[in-house]
Amino acid sequence: DSGVTQTPKHLITATGQRVTLRCSPRSGDLSVYWYQQSLDQGLQFLIQYYNGEERAKGNILERFSAQQFPDLHSELNLSSLELGDSALYFCASSPSDRVPNSPLHFGNGTRLTVT
Amino acid sequence: AQTVTQSQPEMSVQEAETVTLSCTYDTSESDYYLFWYKQPPSRQMILVIRQEAYKQQNATENRFSVNFQKAAKSFSLKISDSQLGDAAMYFCAYRFSIPVSMIYNQGGKLIFGQGTELSVKP
């Protein structure tokens, strides 16, 4: 168990809808990262937050947004969903990105299926 | 831009044998960090091993070791005495050093390769 909790585990929704994915980092971790893994693909970095502030941004679509709350949990909001958004969405956490050899600890992911 | 390439989409190894998974990366930096992650069928991402670029000594973790060739920008993973439980997708990943990450707003993200699917035959 990595200590990173993601909910829900599975999500099935229709095109055009909006969903929210939730992540609770490991206790003490201040950084949260979101990744997208499409079928048979590697992990694509979406966005990172550190202690409530956006730290780095990847190829995140404008339809997607995220935030990190004062209690350090994070939410990834996906709107106007398209079939191509179907993927496994991972959240990961680390104590700080100022300790670069500290690995990212990943949650079990949320499987999103858009029909 | 930094990229990570895993040229072997699939590999196979006999149980108890040794296998090496390849990874190359492209960077102009001299300081950085490299990782191997394992993703079994459960889809969980599990850290296997990590290497700091400034260290010449290759990292080892039990049956897992790396061959880090900085000049060649190569970071291969060797699995010795392969076990059935080693069957998984393996991802190589690159991370910026702190100064570079701050200058270019890269944070602490990992840049992943496309993965190598390892099967272990009994």
Distance (Å, whole) CA A49 – CA A23? 12
Contacts of A52 in chain B (CB under 8 A): none
Low-confidence ranges of chain B (pLDDT < 50): none
In this predicted model, which residue has the larger pLDDT, A72 or A59?
A72
DSSP state of A83: G
- For A11-66, write each residue's pLDDT tens digit: 999 999 999 999 999 999 999 999 999 976 789 999 999 999 999 999 899 999 99
- For A94-112, write each residue's pLDDT tens digit: 987 777 778 899 999 999 9
What are residue A30's phi and psi, to 5 degrees?
-100, -20
pLDDT of residue A40: 67
| Residue of A2, A5, A37 best to disrupt the B interface, most CBs of B under 10 A | A37
pLDDT of residue B56: 86
* A100–B96 CB contact, under 8 Å: yes
B57/A contact by beta carbon, under 8 A: no
Is residue B103 within a helix (H) or strand (E), and if so which, with residue range? helix B98-103
Average pLDDT for residues A53-82, to the nearest whole number?
95
